[in-house]
Chain A
Amino acid sequence: MSDIDIKRISYLAKLKLPSEKEEFYSQSLEDIIQWVDNLKKIDTSNVKPLHNVTEATVSIRNDNIEKNNTPEDVLKNSPERAQNFFKVPKVVE
């Protein structure tokens, strides 16, 4: 059996795998993880991780306001709204 905790992974990803598919994904994940395991063979102790091929410094902007849209533009696609708020079932903390 795999050490991949599919329940935990899917919970973190906010996915609810139907129980009949849990095994399928679990197996598939395990196959792929095994397949990529060959990377462990490479000695990278002296290698710096590469985050982005463009190894320049970040581009920056000046602290100015630009307003190119209305609240309506932002809310237009919302599944549910109340006036100019997005609406969701009550959040309990």
Chain B
Amino acid sequence: MSNNWEMVIGLEVHAQLKTTSKLFSSSPNLFGSEPNENVNFIDSGMPGMLPVLNWACIEKAIKTGFALNFTINKHSVFERKNYFYPDLPQGYQISQFEFPILSEGYLDIDQPDGSTKKIRIERAHLEQDAGKSIHDIDPKFSFIDLNRVGTPLLEIVSYPDLSSAEDVVNYMSSLRQTLMYIDVCDGNMQEGSLRADVNLSVRKPGGELGTRCEIKNLNSFKFIRQAIEFEFQRQIEVLEAGESVEQNTMLFDTNTGETRPMRSKEFSHDYRYFPDPDLLPVNLTDEQINQIKPSMEELPHEKMNRYINEYKIDKDISKIIIAEKENTVLFEQMINESDVAPKNIASCLVGDIFAFIKEKNTEVLSLLEFTKDITDLLKLISEDVISNKAGKEILPQVLEGKGKPNELVKKMGLEQVSDTSELEKIIDEALVGEEENIAKFQGGSDRVLGYFVGKCLKSTKGKGNPKLINKILLEKLKIINGKSLIFENCDKINDK
């Protein structure tokens, strides 16, 4: 049914800014405090209280401007958006309306076919967050906690350039990634640091835009996907039943996965925006704007390019690393602290370290204290002191802080046997009675070499240096057969 319909989506993303204090007051900008702990007389809308703008919020907006290719407006104006709600103490939200701080930006998102799609962003403006009404403590009452009141938000409004749930999730996660990279937002969606309002309408391909509905306040990728899919089907059903979609504000029910209109209002909203007379316009100088540029952090795609070009890391692995900023912090610290090849560090990170993180459910950044140990361990492997396999065994211990790699190697008895005479003895023993296989080798079967290496490793209980065994083995076979050997095969085996 949905085959002949397409969806048109625009996103309004509210990002809480990572600041110490609030947008217009000096209360802490903190999540998870006791009720009304972070509330002063400004936040609670007491008579005569006045807002004073936090410069850090302007700074973060400017950084976002650079990162998302915005025009940074030198003149912006805070206005009042007037409406009544119990978690809105002033009776208005201070926001930007006619003159936002940022306009006309864009963000490139990846498409399944490997190409990128440009999502245009209409504007981004600074505004205050509201408090929280808690409805589930008491059946008859709502409890109001104003801690979140005045938390700085940057509302980022895209054009309706998104055409699938996939697009939306890509856009949102790319946005989230960028904001986290430039330290503008902590990206914690569970705590509401990043919330999306989805504006969705449907149309026949090439047809006129339909009436849109706004689904409010989605704070997880799962819900965003669910809400979009449900709302898409709902609108199609309405239209195919010959009715028309009513412009509405919808709520998403996380329990049922359905969208439903908010309780209809007697009168439509009229926010009566007007410039806040308590605040003067924000007039920025070129100097103020440019001053922020040098402090800009590397953006995800910039990092990725550097990893590929400078560190010679595969694109796919680079992509995995840059997905979260914290990965890059861990990664770059390892690179800076050691001379281990970045490539080896990268493969260890996305392989064993990520596996450990997943299994133990630990924080990436909690491993920062072990980076030196990790690279020491990688060094032991590259210097053939231990085998790759031994390294895998030791790594979890290192990540749990159970000891230094060289201590652990000794303690666990994993030091590699690299004594040539000892290995020669083992190899000689291994070749006894293997005339048939030697003949196969002679016939060009490279699998036999693997068999011999395996046999030798087994008799060293895994501690034999495979590279060395390989080398000696080849020498021996050469002698035995008096033939030259296929070294490409050997290299392949060496790599494993």
Contact = CB atoms under 8 A, between A and B. Distances in A.
A and B touching (C-beta < 8 Å)?
yes
Interface of A: 8, 11-12, 14, 51-52, 54-69, 71, 73-75, 82-93
B158 interface: no
By secondary structure, the A interface counts as loop
Interface stretch (B106-114, B136-144, B310-318, B458-466): B136-144
B426 interface: no
B450 interface: no
A7 to B, nearest CB: 8
B20 A58 contact: no
Given A57-B283, A58-B279, 8 more contacts: A51-B77, A60-B58, A65-B26, A71-B37, A74-B39, A84-B35, A84-B37, A88-B142
B35 A90 contact: no
Main secondary structure of the interface of B (DSSP, over half): loop
Contacts of A60: 52-55, 58
The 9 closest A-B pairs by CB, nearest first: A63-B56, A85-B143, A66-B26, A57-B283, A86-B144, A58-B280, A60-B55, A71-B36, A84-B35
B281 interface: yes
B53 A88 contact: no
Given A62-B55, A66-B26, A93-B251, A87 B143 contact: yes
Contacts of A89: 140-142
Contacts of A59: 52-53, 280
A85 B491 CA distance: 70
A53 to B, nearest CB: 10
Nearest to A69: B40
B266 A63 contact: no
Interface stretch (B239-247, B267-275, B404-412): B267-275
Contacts of B279: 58
Given A51-B275, A59-B53, A61-B26, A88 B282 contact: no
A58 B278 CA distance: 10
B266 A11 contact: yes
A89 B77 CA distance: 36
A66 B82 CA distance: 28
Nearest to B262: A93
B280 A54 contact: yes
Contacts of A61: 26, 52-55
Contact of B86 (A64, A67, A83, A88): A88
Given A12-B272, A51-B275, A87-B141, A67 B40 contact: yes
Given A59-B280, A61-B26, A8 B20 contact: no
